[in-house]
Chain A
Amino acid sequence: MNIHLNPLLLKEFRQRMRTIRAPLVITAYLFGMCALTVFLLYENVQGQLYLVQPTKSQQVFALVSLLQMVIVAFLAPAFASGSVSGERERKTLAVLLTTPVGPFGILFGKVVSSSALLVLLVVLTLPVYSLVFLYGGAVPAQVASVLGFQLVTIVVISTVCVLFSTIALRSTWSTVFAYGSVGLMTVIFGALGYGLKSLYEQNPIDYTALVWSHFFYALDPLYVEAAFLGVVSAKAHVWIPFVEFYAVVIAVLLVPSLWRLRPQWFSWLPFVSGTEKQYQ
């Protein structure tokens, strides 16, 4: 069977995985996660590793999962933020745009290849989670949902970063936008949710504050992950508004991204005509 994979994806995989950097990053990451998990387990049971204490084990599971989420959230821009702007700076984009791959193929290839190493990192940490299983406290369904949400977050952040990398003409700016977006998602939205909830707690009649608090919390991947872990009490299916919101954000960002790649498609707009050269 002749499977036609996106050629850009194959190329990126080859380029990313052939140097010593990728195995080094993976090894260092796994070593760090293993060491941390063992240390937390040991500390939580105060050296009595022969005792089975599911509550303590669950705390370790939650801490490790949230830490992993923070790490992947801040690593994703490093892989994705220069993906298209880098092609433009290297002057390889124009040639790519004259091939049948097209803008959608370019964006798809870049998103998947940027996410791939992080997805691999998350999948490879599964044996680390098995250490937690040893002491109970986490059921397989919960582990699956936590990891599943981490994968969704990786794809969301990578997509947003690739789109910013397409919109911003320089990698410097796309990196600023990418880290700004991750900061907004993980810090600002969480802080807004927390602030509005505090406001509601001081004035319980102010129901609007509570609604907006739930809204902002639902946009914070750390909060949604914490909800999956049962660390915070959140509405059921809090991940749905997360997915819906970022699907809209991606759809909105897709328009200027396509405009940067194929200004010809938007030539009916008055301000676009004659701008192709600088974008390619």
Chain B
Amino acid sequence: MILTQNLSKRYGKTLALNNLNLNIERGTIFGLVGENGAGKTTALSMLATLTLPTSGRAYVCGHEVTKEPKAVRRVIGYMPDSFGVYDDLTVMEYLRFFAQCYGVDRRTISRRAEELLERVRLVDKRDVYVNNLSRGMQQRLEVARCLMHDPDVLILDEPSSGLDPKSRLEMRAVLAGLRELGKTVIISTHILNELAEVADEVGILLRGELVAVAAVQVMVQHSSAYRTLVIDGRDLGSAFVKALFADPHVAEVRPLERGWEVLYAGTLAQQAELLSRLVADGFAITQFREQPTDIEQLFLRLAAIQEGVTL
């Protein structure tokens, strides 16, 4: 369904992507994990026909992205890493506009929009202006927008970036639901754990090179058992640390120049609970985020073990 052969991209002297070789089968949800600047967005924008490869080839549903870009655009739904929305359009009008761009007929648009709003849990927001939605809702709406023309392939670039734990949880549920639709999905992220319940396979990009591809369970098993949380806020002193340790999943708390670093063994849902509890306890939290997966360490661990891993 998605095939790349030695796909490379150079921006001036910078080699953003080096010989990417992927073969993603129909119906697979594939995660592309890497730190910022690893080449994830470059790879996805080439598949979305926005960027030309410097060398190599890429095929989506049998169409080569450089030779048949129009055919590729018809079969993909693309969500960029950083996107905006149109002011003065309601959720329904927003979906209708993009469906019309693909020539979807009027009756299908209404039916499909309702189905998708149900799927992304925004059905009660259909008449709300898009710019009045929260960031998490806008990101879920983007997933619905990508599906409006019923594409075979979804290309989602960091769909959970910038979201709080609760919104990330909601987005993860939406992404997990894509499996029922039988779509081929490629998702990029810098947080490996995001993909745990969503993806079938994961590829690791390190400084522009795909260094490993493996089943998601293998990857998650070999990544650290702990998530690193960064929490910052006003007057977070010893009472705050005490409140943190009240959570059984908190393993360690280290002070940072600003805020605290927390080693956390719980799930994303438990993370959301922790945040809710801290806020309910009256702590003024201004930042609560998960540190990206240390890709280099994960790769070294995988390379050492070599079990079930295609390098």
Using a CB–CB cutoff of 8 Å, the interface residues on chain A facing chain B are: 2, 4, 7-8, 10-11, 14-15, 18-19, 90-92, 94-102, 263-264, 267, 273-274, 276-277, 280
Contact = CB atoms under 8 A, between A and B. Distances in A.
Query: Which are the 9 A-B pairs with shortest beta-carbon distances?
Result: A7-B100, A91-B84, A90-B84, A99-B101, A98-B78, A274-B11, A15-B88, A11-B97, A276-B51
A261 B11 CA distance: 18
Contact of A15 (B12, B86, B100): B86
B303 interface: no
B267 interface: no
Interface string B17-40: 000000000000000000000000
A95 B51 contact: no
Interface string B44-56: 0100111110100
Interface of B: 9-12, 45, 48-52, 54, 66, 69-70, 73-74, 76, 78-80, 82-89, 93, 97-98, 100-103, 105, 145
Given A92-B86, A95-B83, A98-B48, A264 B69 contact: yes
A31 to B, nearest CB: 26
A95 B69 CA distance: 14
A274 to B, nearest CB: 5
A277 B89 contact: no
A10 B97 contact: yes
A213 B12 CA distance: 48
B101 A18 contact: no
Given A273-B54, A274-B54, A95 B11 contact: no
Nearest to A2: B105
A265 to B, nearest CB: 10
Contacts of A99: 73, 98, 101-102
A14 B89 contact: yes
Contact of B70 (A91, A95, A100, A274): A100
B11 to A, nearest CB: 5
A6 to B, nearest CB: 9
Contact of A100 (B48, B54, B103): B103
19 contacts: A4-B103, A8-B101, A11-B89, A14-B89, A14-B93, A18-B88, A90-B86, A91-B82, A95-B78, A98-B73, A98-B76, A99-B102, A100-B70, A100-B73, A100-B103, A264-B69, A274-B10, A274-B11, A276-B52
B80 A91 contact: yes
B78 A264 contact: no
Which among A15, A94, A263 has the highest number of chain B CB atoms within 10 Å? A94
B139 to A, nearest CB: 13
A201 B170 CA distance: 78
A264 B49 CA distance: 9
Contacts of A18: 88
Nearest to A274: B11
B301 to A, nearest CB: 33
Contacts of A102: 70
A91 B83 contact: yes
A157 to B, nearest CB: 25
B86 A11 contact: yes
Contact of A264 (B52, B93, B102): B52
B273 to A, nearest CB: 33
Contact of B101 (A14, A100, A273, A277): A100
A90 B85 CA distance: 7
Nearest to B88: A15
Nearest to B79: A95
Given A92-B84, A100-B74, A7 B50 contact: no
B197 to A, nearest CB: 27
Given A91-B80, A274-B11, A10 B100 contact: yes
A92 B85 contact: yes
Contacts of A94: 45, 50, 78, 80, 83
A97 B72 CA distance: 12
Nearest to A4: B103
A116 to B, nearest CB: 16
Contacts of B89: 11, 14-15
Contacts of B48: 98
Contacts of B76: 98
Contacts of B11: 274, 277
B82 A267 contact: no
Contacts of B103: 4, 100
